[in-house]
Amino acid sequence: MIKKILIANRGEIAVRIIKTCKQMNIKTVAVYSEADKDSLHVQLADEAHFLGGSRVTESYLNGEKILDAANAGNVDAIHPGYGLLSENADFAEKVRQEGYLFIGPSTSVIQKMGNKIAARKAMEDAGVSVIPGITLSDTEESTVKKAARVLGYPVMVKAAAGGGGIGMQKVEDEGDLMKVVSSVVKKSETFFGSGEIYVEKFIESPRHIEAQIAADRVGNVVCLGERDCSVQRRNQKILEEAPSIFLSDNGRKKLFEAAVHAGKTIEYTNVGTVEFLVDGEEQIYFLEMNTRLQVEHPVTEETTGIDLVQWQIDLANGKDIPSLERNNNQSNHAMEARIYAEDPTTFFPSPGKLIEWEFPEMEGIRYDFGVEKGATVTPFYDPMIGKVIAYGSSRKAVMDKLLMCLEMANVEGIKTNIPMLINTLKHPTFQNGEATTDFVKNLI
Binders in 132-171 for other proteins, by CB under 8 A: 164, 166
Binders in 164-193 for other proteins, by CB under 8 A: 164, 166
Contacts of 29 (CB under 8 A, 6+ apart): 4, 5, 6, 7, 45, 46, 47, 48, 49, 69, 70, 73, 75
Write down the least CB distance from residue 382 to other proteins, Å.
6
Is 366 part of the annotated catalytic residue set? no
Please give the biggest Cα pair distance in the chain.
Answer: 60
Q: Is 100 an interacting residue with respect to other proteins (CB under 8 A)?
A: no
Q: Is 322 an interacting residue with respect to other proteins (CB under 8 A)?
A: no
- DSSP class of residue 95 equals H
Calculate the alpha carbon distances from 410 to 144, 159, 358 in Å. Answer: 50, 39, 5
Q: Is 127 an interacting residue with respect to other proteins (CB under 8 A)?
A: no
Interface residue with other proteins, options 210, 241, 342, 368 (CB under 8 A): 342
Q: Is 195 an interacting residue with respect to other proteins (CB under 8 A)?
A: no
Write down the least CB distance from residue 397 to other proteins, Å.
34
Stretch that binds other proteins, among 238-246, 346-354, 388-396, 399-407 (CB under 8 A): 346-354
Cβ nearer to other proteins, comparing 326 with 353: 353
Instruction: Report the C-alpha gap between 284 and 269 in whole angstroms.
Output: 23
Instruction: Report the C-alpha gap between 389 and 334 in whole angstroms.
Output: 7
Q: Is 341 an interacting residue with respect to other proteins (CB under 8 A)?
A: yes
Binders in 370-389 for other proteins, by CB under 8 A: 378-383
- DSSP class of residue 321 equals G
Write down the least CB distance from residue 176 to other proteins, Å.
19
Write down the least CB distance from residue 251 to other proteins, Å.
34
Contacts of 289 (CB under 8 A, 6+ apart): 113, 119, 262, 266, 272, 273, 274, 275
Catalytic member of 10, 16, 292, 338: 292
Interface residue with other proteins, options 163, 195, 305, 351 (CB under 8 A): 351
Binders in 201-240 for other proteins, by CB under 8 A: none
Evaluate the omega torsion of the peptide bond into residue 243 and state whether it is cis, within 30 degrees of 0. yes
Sheet bearing 384-392, strands edge to edge: 284-290, 270-278, 207-215, 221-233, 236-242, 333-340, 384-392, 365-369
Write down the least CB distance from residue 142 to other proteins, Å.
30
Q: Is 349 an interacting residue with respect to other proteins (CB under 8 A)?
A: yes
Q: Closest by alpha carbon to 265, among 169, 127, 142, 390?
A: 127
* Other beta carbons less than 10 A from residue 91's beta carbon: 24
Helix axes 63-73, 89-97, angle to 10 degrees: 30
Cβ nearer to other proteins, comparing 67 with 377: 377
Cβ nearer to other proteins, comparing 11 with 251: 11
Instruction: Report the C-alpha gap between 309 and 321 in whole angstroms.
Output: 14
Write down the least CB distance from residue 234 to other proteins, Å.
8
Cβ nearer to other proteins, comparing 84 with 119: 84
Interface residue with other proteins, options 22, 55, 217, 373 (CB under 8 A): 55
Calculate the alpha carbon distances from 168 to 124, 171, 178, 386 in Å. Answer: 21, 10, 14, 26
Q: Is 87 an interacting residue with respect to other proteins (CB under 8 A)?
A: no
Binding site for other proteins (CB under 8 A): 55, 164, 166, 341-342, 347-349, 351, 378-383
Q: Which residues are catalytic?
A: 292
